[in-house]
Amino acid sequence: MLDFEATCERNKQIKPQEIIEFPCLKVNSETFLTESIFHQCVQPQIHNQLSTFCTELTGIIQGMVDGQPYLEETMQSFDRWMRAEHLLDEPGKAIFVTCGDWDLNVMLPNQCQYFNIIRPEYMKTWVNIKRSFSDATGIWPKGIVEMLRYFKIPHEGRLHSGIDDCKNIVEVLKALAEQKGYVFQANGHCP
């Protein structure tokens, strides 16, 4: 499960938008238990003062990103974690699950391009849980809360907290597999 949070302004598109929370859960596809967690706050380089709106939305305050690694160093730490967890040992053994295509189709590619960071091949294919939910139910969801409601699962934590969103996505993933018999496959790709 992967769910970035990024710099933002109310009613304004900022460029470049920068990742400020980089959470990822390693989840066992048979038990749906979280086996390992990568969670890092990231210091933005251009918009280095978080807006009040960003803090209200994500719960991330300035002190949480100040002094943290920039994205390039965070990506290096993430790659080491992926390797230590043996997630890159066999092609196709692991795949990211996101709530929408924004994280890996828009946010990461744009920021990597802006800062001239090489995006790993393994971050170019994913499962968009919204698309999987729609395939299984015939309903296109607006977000995590709607999918949880469908399965009568209470939302835990704070909405737009990347780590909490990841944990809630796990619950949707589990419900789709156990209640709908859904078999997941890659449905998102960015060259």
Domain borders along the chain are 5-189
* Backbone φ and ψ of 87, nearest 5°: -80, -10
- The predicted pLDDT at position 92 comes to 81
d(CA 162, CA 58): 8
- The predicted pLDDT at position 97 comes to 98
- The predicted pLDDT at position 47 comes to 92
Average pLDDT over residues 4-24: 96
**Residue 93 pLDDT greater than 90, yes or no:** no
- The predicted pLDDT at position 49 comes to 96
Catalytic residues: 5, 160
CATH code of the domain made up of 5-189: 3.30.420.10
d(CA 150, CA 167): 17
What's the mean pLDDT when you consider all of the chain? 97
- The predicted pLDDT at position 91 comes to 83
Confidence class of residue 14 from pLDDT cuts 50, 70 and 90?
very high
| DSSP secondary structure, 23-73, as one string | EEEEE-TTT--EEEEEEEE---SSS-S--HHHHHHH---HHHHTTS--HHH
**Residue 35 pLDDT greater than 90, yes or no:** yes
What pTM was computed for the model? 0.96
pLDDT in tens, 150-183: 999 999 999 999 999 999 999 999 999 999 999 9
